[in-house]
Amino acid sequence: MVQSRLKREHYGYIFIAPFVIAFLVFGLYPIYNTFYLSFTDTTLLGGDANFIGLKNFQRLFADSTFLKAVWNTWLIWILNFIPQIGIAMLLSIWFTSIRLRVRGVGIWRAIFFLPNLLMPAAVAALFFSLFSFYGPVNQFMVRTGLLPEAMNFLQKPAIARGLVVFIQWWMWFGPTIILLMAGMTSISVSLYESAMIDGANEQQMFWRITVPLLKPILVYIFVTSLVGGMQMFDIPYLLTDGRGAPSGSIMTNNILMYLKFSSSKGHIGAASSVGVLVFIMTCVCAFGIFYFLREKD
C-alpha cells in the first residue's frame, strides 16, 4: 500500500523534470556562467581565460561610454513608461466606465494592441524609412514649406531619442491597457456602490478602491516593463548605424554589451561584466517595486 502510494507520487517528479532540467540548463547555468566570465579576460579568439578579479568592472565605471549607456537606458525607459502607464490607465478607466458606456471597446483594444504584433525589426525599418533624408516626412515638410530644406532627422540626438521613446511607448501601451482593464473588471461593482452610498466621489473611489486592488497587476506591469527597458536593444540598434548614434544618444546597455562582444577580439569577459551590472540594477529596482507596492497591514 505504502509502496504503491510512493510510486504514484513519483510520477509528479517525472512530469516536472523537463521544466527543471530546461531551467537549470538554459536559465540558471547562463546566469552562473555570465558571472564567472565577468571576472575573467576571456575572448572569442583566445584559448586561455585568466581570472582578473574586478578589473572588468573597474574599467566599465571609468568608461564614460558605459555611464552614458546606463543614463540613456534609464532615461528612454522612464520617458516611455510614464506616458505608457498614464495613458493606459486613463483609457482603461474610460473603457470600463459604466457611465461613459464607450462603444466598440473590443475594436479599440484590438487597434491599440496591433503595434505589439509587429516585429521590432520591421518597426525600426519603417521609422528609418519615414525619417530618412529622402523619406516621406522630409518630402512632406519641404513641399509644404515647414522646412526650408531636408533634414537628417536620425542624426539629431533629441529627435533620435524621441523616436525611440515614441516607438517603445507605441508598441507597449496596448498590452498595458488590456492588463489594466482585466484588473479593473475583476473588481466587484458592489465596492463602488457602497462607496457611492457613503458619499465618495470618483477620484476618491479611484485612489481608495481601484488603485489598491490593482496593485498585483501594477507590480507585474512595472517589473516586466523594467526588465524589457533594461534589455532594450533592437529598436535603437536598427534605427541608426548600430552604435547608438548620433553621439551615442541612444546607446543602451545591451548595445554596449553587444559591441564589446563583437569587437575585433570579442571581449566576452567585458561584455559579461555589462550583463552582470544590468542584472544587478534590474534586481535591485524590481525588489524596490515589490517593496513599495506590497500589501501593507
In a domain, 40, yes or no: no
Q: What is the pLDDT of residues 11-25, one digit of tens each?
A: 778 888 888 899 888
**In this predicted structure, what is the pLDDT of residue 161?**
92
Q: Name the more confident of 258 and 266.
A: 258
The answer to whether residue 18 is domain-embedded is: no
Q: Give residue 7's pLDDT.
A: 61
Q: How confident is the model at residue 79 (pLDDT cuts 50, 70, 90)?
A: very high
- Residue 45: per-residue pLDDT: 75
Domains in the chain, number: 1
Residues 76-84: what's their mean pLDDT?
A: 94
Average pLDDT for the chain: 87
Residue 216 lies in a domain: yes
Q: Provide the residue range defining the domain that includes 68.
A: 63-292
Task: Grade residue 143 by pLDDT with cuts at 50, 70 and 90.
Answer: very high
Q: Considering the domain boundaries, does residue 15 fall inside one? A: no
Count of alpha carbons within 13 angstroms of residue 79, beta-carbon side: 16
Mean pLDDT value of segment 144-169: 91
- List the alpha helices (DSSP H) in the chain: 2-23, 29-37, 55-61, 64-96, 105-117, 120-130, 136-143, 157-185, 189-197, 202-205, 211-213, 215-230, 234-239, 253-261, 268-292
Residue 31 lies in a domain: no
Q: Return the closest-CA partner of residue 51 out of 43, 39, 33, 35.
A: 39
| Interatomic CA distance for residues 126 and 295, integer angstroms | 43
Q: If pLDDT is split at 50, 70 and 90, which confidence band does 111 have?
A: very high
- Is the pLDDT score of 220 beyond 90? yes
Instruction: Judge whether residue 88 has pLDDT over 90.
Output: yes
Cell of 22: 530546461
Q: What integer pLDDT is reported at residue 58 of this predicted model?
A: 92
Q: Tell me which residue of 109, 237, 246 sits closest to 177, measured CA to CA.
A: 109
Is the predicted pLDDT of residue 1 greater than 60, yes or no? no
Q: Would you say residue 70 lies in a domain?
A: yes
145: DSSP letter = T
Position with higher pLDDT, 189 vs 217: 217
Residue 258: Cβ within 10 Å count: 17
Q: Mean pLDDT across the stretch 198-223?
A: 90
Instruction: Determine, yes or no, domain membership for 149.
Output: yes
C-alpha 56/C-alpha 37 separation (Å) is: 10
Contact 215, 291 (CB under 8 A): no
pLDDT class of 4 with cuts at 50, 70, 90: low
Q: How confident is the model at residue 243, as a pLDDT?
A: 65
Residue 87 vs residue 259, higher pLDDT = 87
Would you call 1 helix, strand, or coil by DSSP?
coil
Judged against a pLDDT cut of 90, whether residue 178 lies above it is answered with yes
* CATH number reported for the structural domain that contains residue 191 in this entry: 1.10.3720.10
Which residues contact residue 104 at a Cβ distance below 8 angstroms, ignoring those fewer than 6 apart? none
Domain assignment of residue 255, yes or no: yes
pLDDT higher for 13 or 59? 59
